[in-house]
Amino acid sequence: MADIIEKIESAVKENKIMIFMKGNRSFPQCGFSAATVAIFDEIGEPYATADVLSDPELRDAIKQYSNWPTIPQVYIDGKFVGGCDIIREMHESGELEPLVKAAVGASAQQ
Amino acid sequence: MIAHGIPDAQVEVRDYTGGGDHFEALVVSPSFEGKGLIERHQLVYKALGDAMRVQVHALTLKTLTPAQYQNRR
């Protein structure tokens, strides 16, 4: 258990935008995961994904890590931002893109 | 069930596949005032408890304060 939590922590630290999802960006295995990556594709900044379906231990651990019961889960700059509904709402309200650009931009300057 | 866990919540739920496991819920409650979306959704998930893990496959959530709900109409 401790190992997998460490793995999650390094994944969200190393990737400014990290999405835990069902399937991968080319073949999402769930409508909510598909909708989420579609939004990030539209924004066009690089992001990383991890497939929870191929790793049952990760699937359980990520829910405990964020205290959030559903997949997908999006982390920006190491911080849990939300699932599909929240991402969609933030995208519609225009909050998401600046947050994404700020996170990616900050890492590019380092 | 949601209404049980969140005081003063107005809840509208739609079973959009008819299969009893894919739901869409609009929750309006004054207890969302001053809370971010993550906290609001977490309140709803908490109210659902084990049902969320066992019964429900998909839940689309919209969480509003009464004032936000008024503005939307």
Which residues of chain B does A86 touch, with a Cβ-Cβ cutoff of 8 Å? 37-38, 41
Going from the C-alpha of A56 to that of each of A60, A101, A103, the distances in angstroms are: 6, 32, 29
* Contact (CB, 8 A) for B33 and B69: no
Q: Does A83 touch chain B (CB under 8 A)?
A: yes
Top pLDDT among B20 and A56 is at A56
**What is the number of structural domains in chain A?**
1
Minimum Cα–Cα distance from B42: chain A residue: A68
> Is 3.30.300.90 the CATH number for B2-66?
yes
Q: Quote the domain boundaries for residue A79.
A: 2-109
pTM for the full model? Answer: 0.85
Q: Does A47 touch chain B (CB under 8 A)?
A: no
A33-48 pLDDT, tens digit each: 999 999 999 999 999 9
pLDDT given for residue A109 in this prediction? 56
Which residues of chain B does A85 touch, with a Cβ-Cβ cutoff of 8 Å? 37, 41, 60-62
pLDDT given for residue A2 in this prediction? 78
Top pLDDT among B72 and B47 is at B47
Domain definitions of chain B by residue range: 2-66
Compute how many other C-beta atoms are within 10 angstroms of the C-beta atom of residue A65: 18
Q: What is the ipTM of this complex?
A: 0.73
What CATH number corresponds to the domain at position A104?
3.40.30.10
Closest Cβ opposite residue A85 in set B52, B53, B61? B61
The secondary structure of residue B6, as a DSSP letter, is: S
- Mean per-residue pLDDT of chain A: 93
User: Most A CBs within 10 Å: which of B23, B27, B35, B38, as the mutation test of the A interface?
Assistant: B38
Top pLDDT among A81 and B9 is at A81
Distance from CA of B35 to the nearest CA of A (A): 13
HSE-up of residue A60 (Cα within 13 Å, Cβ side)? 5
Burial (CB count <10 Å: 0-12, 13-18, 19+), residue A97: middle
A44-70 pLDDT, tens digit each: 999 999 999 999 999 999 999 998 999
pLDDT given for residue B49 in this prediction? 84
Smallest Cα–Cα separation from A29: which of A50, A15, A43, A12?
A50
Minimum Cα–Cα distance from B60: chain A residue: A85
A14-39 pLDDT, tens digit each: 999 999 999 999 999 999 999 999 99
Task: Flag whether pLDDT at A73 surpasses 60.
Answer: yes
